[in-house]
Amino acid sequence: MGIVRCHSQAQRTMTLSELQAPKGLPELSKGYRNKHERSKYSNNWKSPEGKYSPEHWNTNSKYPKPLSNKMAFALLMELRKSQEGKNHLQYLQPELTKILDRKNPFPANININNIDSASLDELPGIGPSIARRILRFREKLGGFYSASQLIEIPKIDTTLAEVMSARITIDKSKLIPINEKVDFKQLYKHPYVGPNRAKILGPFFTQHPQLTKRIWLDMQGLSMEEKSKIEPYLRFIE
């Protein structure tokens, strides 16, 4: 796995070096090797017309084939991470996004509530760190009920979440209800509850072990918006 990742990183570095920076800016490959180096140059430069068009890539690149969807996605992620890459993002992102719109780089039907760390790590743009963040957030939630919840994961890239969410399937049977066996520690850690709401919900769930939707909707202390976010994690009786 490490050898494959190093090879992919070397390939991305080589491709980034082909997307030449305008005169006066450091080469992208240098900034990619040292992600913590901040650019000493101004951001207010303008790209020569056509510099970053697909025609320019095809005529000036060493690679005869167009960029694959996985390579386009990897380049987009690297450009968003590096300081120098952000200078080029406004010119490169539209073309890279077109490639991703034609073909999503993620495999179809990712079961986000069943997938394990190793399988997440193999997906495009996701390394061990991001995989851990996704699983940690899933554990705190008690499972995902919507693909849109990916964007709520702390420090996750918005583009990564948006592209990945298009391939997500949800198994709601895996959701862990928070009202069946009241655990104050779990309530405190739940992203939609937290300490303040836990002080309201803990006694409420204890008082209403047989919870109905009518009792839930009539409960005081939470807004309807807060209730709608928490509701998928509740088990009701008919």
- For the stretch 186-218, pLDDT in tens is 999 999 999 999 999 999 999 999 999 999 999
Helix ranges (DSSP H) in 180-223: 184-189, 194-207, 213-218
How many angstroms separate the Cα of 140 from the Cα of each of 7, 143, 169, 176, 194? 35, 8, 19, 10, 11
Task: Report which secondary-structure segment, H or E, holds 111.
Answer: strand 110-111
Q: For residue 164, which of 98, 107, 102 has the smallest C-alpha distance?
A: 107
**DSSP label of 238:** -
Q: Which residues pair with 169 in a beta bridge?
A: 111
pTM, full prediction: 0.71
CA distance 39 to 23: 14
Query: Is 204 in a helix, a strand, or coil?
Result: helix
- For the stretch 28-43, pLDDT in tens is 444 433 433 333 333 4
The alpha carbon torsion through 59, 64, 67, 70 (nearest 10 deg) reads -160
8 Å CB contact between 8 and 74: yes
Question: What domains can you pick out in the chain, each with its CATH number?
Answer: 2-101 (no CATH), 110-174 (1.10.150), 184-233 (no CATH)
- Could you state, in chain order, the average pLDDT of each consecutive group of 10 residues for the chain (238 residues)? 54 53 40 38 42 53 67 84 72 84 91 95 91 96 96 93 94 93 92 95 95 95 95 93
